[in-house]
Structure formats: structure tokens, C-alpha cells
Amino acid sequence: MLKIAGLLAQSAVSQMLRLDDISNNLANANTVGYKRDETVFSSFGSVLAQAVSGGEVFVKNIPYGVRIDGNHTIIKQAELRRTDNPLDLAISGKGFFVVQTPSGEKYTRAGNFVLDREGYLTTPEGNRVLGLNGPIQIKGSSVVINYLGEVLVDGEMVDRLRIVDFPKPYRLRKEGANLFVSEESGFEPKNYRIYQGYLEDSSVNPVQEMVNMIVAHRAYEASANGIRLIDELLGRVLAEVPRL
């Protein structure tokens, strides 16, 4: 009975973590370039196989139930929305914009860029967007960024956007402000296109996330009710045993 209670508790905790991810996804349903997170679990079969292959053949060393593998970011192309703002950029295809932050280079799909006081192309947080020659500075009245990512100011090419991609499966880690970090070296992807005056929307489907939330909440409630039932049964057992 105690093992069953442990399984139910583990299930409840897992669903709580899943609800956290779903809530965060819903909160970013309108965030430019946001990529949804998904809670990933390992089944008992996979956990058992890993334990056996690792030499953990004793039952006490084998976890039961499911194991939380963490949350994975789903890198998937979202819809492009026209804004007609010349500093709004979107990537169609694979790849990420590269930005310079105080803690090093980071990556984003959000192309809602602005100009700082010195004329550098930056994120809304002030991180400078990098080209092949470093931070991109725009000094002029006319800015055209073509599908190759070439930046033309008043008809003269000043730089080209630096676009990088990473090996699959993606091992990027979110680090706030819609930025990703990677421990792997990036490379320039093929067949991507840059669209000026467009933004990539969030990849979150609010309707699907609401359905996921209902399912996760019901699973949590079922586990919590099971724990309460076992607690009541144990209480009755402890109350009756002394009489015997």
C-alpha cells in the first residue's frame, strides 16, 4: 500500500511540473518567437532497461513508476505575421539570430529589433544583433534587409546577418528574454530566408494547451484523491489493530 502511495505521489508531482510548463506556455502565447516547452517522462520500462544495463539489478535500486526527464523545448517553425516595420525580421526555415549579451553570445528566433542611441540593431532588452562583421550598425534613412540577410543602408551593403543552427536533437537551453544558450558549435543552415517587415509568432496553440491543462489537472486530482483514500485506509487500520 505504501508503494502505491509512493506511485500516486510521484504521479502528482509529475503532473504539477507539467502544469507549470503548460502555464508558462499559455503566458507566452503572444510572445514573438517563443518556443513551447513540453514535460518529458520516462516510462517504467525504459527506467528498468537502463537500470539493468547499468548493473542495477537489485529491486531496491530500481525506481518504480515514471521518471521525469525534464522539460524539452520544441523547436518548430511558427506562422509569420506581417508588420511592415523595417526592423522586424523573421526567419523562414531553420536557424537563429545571434545576439551579443554581457555573458556572451546567445540565440533567438524573436526578430522584433530596435535601434539604440548609437544606431546599433538590438533586441528590446538592448542586446546587439550580430552580423558576419560584428554588431550591426545602421546609419542612414533607408534600411533594406533582403532574403539572404544582407543589410543595405541607403543602397549600400554594410553587413550580413549571422544566422546559425545546431545539430539535432536540439540541446538548447532557455535563459530568459526569449534567448537560448548552447554548448555546441553552431553552423549556418541551408535554405533559410529572411523576411523584413515580418515577425514569427509564438508556437503555442492556446486551445491545445488548455486541453493539456485539463488532462494534467484531472490526472493530478486522481492521484491526490488516491493518496487521500490510502491515508484514510491506513488510519482505519491503525485504529482497528489495537483492538485485535
Query: How does DSSP assign 85-134, residue by residue?
Result: -TTBEEEESS-EEEEEETTEEEEES--B-EE-TTSBEE-TTSPEEEETTE
Give the C-alpha separation, 59 to 51, whole Å.
10
This prediction has a pTM of 0.81
* Same domain assignment for residues 44 and 107: no
Q: Over 70: is that where the pLDDT of 181 sits?
A: yes
Let me know: does 14 contact 41? Beta carbons within 8 Å. yes
Structural domain of residue 35, as residue ranges? 2-74+204-243
* Same domain assignment for residues 103 and 180: yes
Give how many domains the chain has, as a whole number. 2
Q: What is the CA radius of gyration of the chain?
A: 25
* Same domain assignment for residues 70 and 88: no
Give the C-alpha separation, 27 to 103, whole Å.
26
* Same domain assignment for residues 89 and 190: yes
| HSE value, Cβ hemisphere, 13 Å, CA-based, for 236 | 5
Q: 227-236, pLDDT tens digit by residue?
A: 778 777 777 7
Let me know: does 219 contact 7? Beta carbons within 8 Å. no
Q: 49-70, pLDDT tens digit by residue?
A: 555 555 554 444 444 555 667 7
Q: 8-20, pLDDT tens digit by residue?
A: 677 777 888 889 9
